[in-house]
Amino acid sequence: MGRILLAATLLIASIGTSIVSAQGPGWIRVAFINVGQGDSIWLHGEDQYDVLIDGGRLAAGPTVVAYLQNQGIDDLDLLIITHSDSDHIGGLVSVLRSTYTIEAVADNGLPCSTSICQTLTAELVKRGLTPTPLVAGQSLNAVLINLQVLNPQPILSGDDNEDSVVIRAVHGQIAILLTGDISTTAETTLMANDLPLQAQVLKVAHHGSKYSTGENFLATVQPTLAVISVGDNSYGHPAPETLDRLAASGAQILRTDQIGTIILYSDGNSFWTAQATYAVFLPLILREFSSPPPTPTPITLPSPPPPQVRITHIEYNPPGDDVQGEYVEIQNQGENTQALTNWTLSDQAGNTFTFPEFLIGSGQFVKVWTKAGSNDSQNLYWGRNQAVWNNDGDCAYLKDHNGGLISTYCYPP
């Protein structure tokens, strides 16, 4: 497929200043593969872009390989290793020993010394694959899906669980938060760093450990659906305390140990779930349905609050060069970070500025300048050589990516 280097295939950008949104129509599939006690998650876009995150224990490897083969997958565009726990990396040995083409690998950047990790490393070397360390603030563009990297932080803690790769997968209006094995310590860091955490779907951290998925974290994420990937274990996963916190949050709980592989579909505006029809650890499995997905039973989503983004000022008659000094000031007056990607700003004459990939935090301002310049977190540039805003009065219209009117600002002559 021509993708040979992570840097060449994945658009990496700062989440603090931009976001790559899912482009165009299409549906995606996310499978939480039933690997027993462990994690293995497959993301598949209608555009045939495939990402595998973790692979469960060593014994689960044949299940993961058989599952992907059953879906007609022979090429993985990206393999993400969240951390080196054996119940996350063991099954990847089988994946690497399979016939799959693997284009790129990424991990959390921590060294490891366990025997299973050494085996995995040896298989990567045989493939000529070198994992690229991920860090919070990167954004991986998987075409229909945008993978926002929220963890590990730039300075690693040295604890493999706390430094788990955390991914927020965004498809249109739907977000899926994949949390590896982080605990409430890392959750607190993510919240303190004001990273985008809201998601309709939460992959519960550390198989439902009582030390993860805190109340404040759930209040920030606000999940509609919580998925727990878990099997027989001696750790007490999922912990009753965690299940109680999830229930109190109002999230619907689905567990792989109870219903098997959990398959989630999204069309970018809504999502729904399905259940696979085969048992774990069987190399011969029944084929799921092929694309397009079956008639869904939608999960009812609460209507999101309307964006509270407002035009607050227009500098239409600055001293000196009208073009150089013209700008429109916009503020996010809501409580949540808002993506302005593909929004538009226009005047009464129909002159229109389309926002690039851009996030505006709660309470923050951005100025849209008429003249050209270098975009940053507080300034965007229209790139015009002539004035837009009339000195004798005009109106500005801010519309979202669907063309919905969000804010109007008129000034008199």
CA–CA gap between residue 63 and residue 77 (Å, rounded): 20
> How confident is the model over 37-76, as pLDDT tens digits?
999 999 998 888 899 999 999 999 999 999 999 888 889 9
Q: Which two tokens stand for residue 54?
A: 């973790």
Nearest to 103 by CA among 84, 83, 131: 131
Residue 161's contacts (CB-CB under 8 Å, 6 or more residues apart) are: 83, 85, 180, 181, 182, 183, 186, 206
pLDDT for position 248: 94
Q: Is the peptide bond before 318 cis (omega within 30 degrees of 0)?
A: no
- Identity of the amino acid at 104: A
Residue 306, pLDDT score: 67
Identity of the residue numbered 60: A
pLDDT per position as a tens digit, 89-128: 999 999 999 999 999 999 999 998 899 999 999 999 999 9
The radius of gyration of the chain from alpha carbons, rounded to an integer in Å, stands at 23
Superfamily of 6-275 according to CATH: Ribonuclease Z/Hydroxyacylglutathione hydrolase-like (3.60.15.10)
**pTM flag (> 0.75):** no
- What is the chain's mean pLDDT, rounded? 85
pLDDT in tens, 152-172: 999 999 999 999 999 999 998
What are 239-297's pLDDT values in tens digits?
999 999 999 999 999 999 998 999 998 888 888 887 543 333 333 333 343 444 444 44
Cα gap 254→252, rounded to integer Å: 7
| Mean pLDDT value across residues 375-386 | 93
Return the pLDDT at 71: 87
Q: Domain ranges in the chain?
A: 6-275, 309-411
Residue 20 confidence class, pLDDT cut points 50, 70, 90 = very low
pLDDT in tens, 187-219: 999 999 999 999 999 999 999 999 999 999 999
- Record: fold of 309-411: Immunoglobulin-like (2.60.40)
Is residue 8 pLDDT above 80, yes or no?
Answer: no
Q: How far apart are CA 240 and CA 237, in angstroms?
A: 8
